[in-house]
Amino acid sequence: MNIQQLIDDIARDVRPYLGQAAPAAYIPALAGEDPQQFAIAVATLDGHCHASGDSDTRFSIQSISKAFMLARVLEVYGDSLWSRVNKEPSGNPFNSLVQLEYEQGIPRNPFINAGALVVSDIALSQLGDCSTALREFLREESGAADIDFDQHIADSEAEHGHRNAALAHFMKSCGNLHNPVDSVLSHYFRACSLRMNVMELARAGLFLANHGRSPVSGEQRLTRSQAKQINAIMLTCGTYDAAGEFAYRVGLPCKSGVGGGILAILPGRMSIAVWSPGLDARGNSLAGLEALDRFTTRSGQSVF
């Protein structure tokens, strides 16, 4: 397969979708992103990285950080995590409040916001300054030592983050957050604000494609079984109430973020990152989904 040719073709073919959708508006600092931007990168386990489009431009990884934070928490805390968050698809929007009360403050999965707040709470207890720990992890795993937070985006989200605050306070009232709500929220917002480009993101995801061992840092980050578990949760929950659509069209474990990025994993082969800021109604990148669909359809590669 000629990966470079394939992704150059895809970057050209998704152009009609750029500008058809708008960036996230509920975080004002993201709303001004130019929706004409698009990038795709493919990092393979044999050390190659191919890219097309605006691949040098860094963007806010938002909820893609949830996959990496979950990896850190599984590594240090293990299966005890699953007494505080479930691993079932929610079928609801990522910031939904309704299910949480019915289910006594135990979030459906670690990738909806409520679940990610619990994971951040555990990370705070286990790692201390967990957003900085995540930044260091991503610097090592991408090989880019200057990856950093975007404090302007973190502040903008904190100022408008009433839904996340509501989720956190409700879970605190159920005893499912152990640290102060404000600290959990501020580490969560900082982790979401990290800026990376598609090449850095694809490289950072390689440990998930390589059964837990990073070919970039050489570290065994997770056991083979834990890497499988995260990929399974990405497939079933990583794109929220569009996870069925993604499994059907893309056929890969994916984690999206409202910055317009999506990380996709082809276990045993490669990691793919796409980015375009315009979001569909379920908060996933419109052109990103189109690009991943074309990638797996044209290459014949998927987990199925």
- Residues 6 or more apart whose CB falls under 8 angstroms from that of 182 comprise none
Work out whether 113 is an interface residue with ligand GLN (CB under 6 A): yes
Taking Cα atoms as reference points, which of 209, 234, 270 lies closest to residue 110?
A: 234
Q: How many residues bind ligand GLN (CB under 6 A)?
A: 11
- For every residue of 280-293, DSSP letters joined together read -TTSSBHHHHHHHH
Instruction: Identify the residue among 67, 85, 258, 289 touching ligand GLN (CB under 6 A).
Output: 258
Whether 77 is a known active-site residue: answer no
Site for ligand GLN in 5-44 (CB under 6 A): none
Shortest distance in whole angstroms from residue 254 CB to ligand GLN = 12
Of 52, 66, 198, 274, which one is the catalytic site residue? 66
Encode 281-295: b = buried (16+ Cβ within 10 Å), e = exposed: ebbbbbbbbbbbbbb
Whether 63 is a known active-site residue: answer yes
Nearer to ligand GLN, 205 or 257 (CB): 257
For 169, 203, 215, 279, 297, the CA distances from 99, given in Å and listed in that order, are 15, 35, 39, 24, 35
Of 188, 250, 256, 271, which one is the catalytic site residue? 188
Q: Which tokens belong to 99?
A: 């299910």
Nearer to ligand GLN, 142 or 193 (CB): 193
Instruction: Identify the residue among 41, 100, 114, 192 touching ligand GLN (CB under 6 A).
Output: 192
Shortest distance in whole angstroms from residue 282 CB to ligand GLN = 9
Site for ligand GLN in 42-101 (CB under 6 A): 62-63, 94-95
Nearer to ligand GLN, 184 or 192 (CB): 192
For residue 195, give the 3-state DSSP assignment: strand
Work out whether 131 is an interface residue with ligand GLN (CB under 6 A): no
Work out whether 226 is an interface residue with ligand GLN (CB under 6 A): no
Report the C-alpha gap between 266 and 198 in whole angstroms: 16
Instruction: Identify the residue among 141, 157, 280, 290 touching ligand GLN (CB under 6 A).
Output: 157
Nearer to ligand GLN, 63 or 197 (CB): 63
Residue 91 region by backbone torsions, left for phi larger than 0, else alpha for psi between -120 and 50, else beta:
left
Report the C-alpha gap between 200 and 248 in whole angstroms: 27
Nearer to ligand GLN, 52 or 113 (CB): 113
Nearer to ligand GLN, 211 or 255 (CB): 255
Of 52, 63, 131, 193, which one is the catalytic site residue? 63
Taking Cα atoms as reference points, which of 279, 239, 284 lies closest to residue 22?
A: 279
Whether 102 is a known active-site residue: answer no
Taking Cα atoms as reference points, which of 136, 1, 162 lies closest to residue 72?
A: 136
Site for ligand GLN in 263-292 (CB under 6 A): 283
Report the C-alpha gap between 194 and 191 in whole angstroms: 6
Of 55, 118, 120, 240, which one is the catalytic site residue? 240
Report the C-alpha gap between 1 and 303 in whole angstroms: 17
Instruction: Identify the residue among 52, 90, 164, 214 touching ligand GLN (CB under 6 A).
Output: 164
Catalytic residues: 63, 66, 188, 240, 258
Residues at the interface with ligand GLN (CB under 6 A):
62-63, 94-95, 113, 157, 164, 192, 257-258, 283
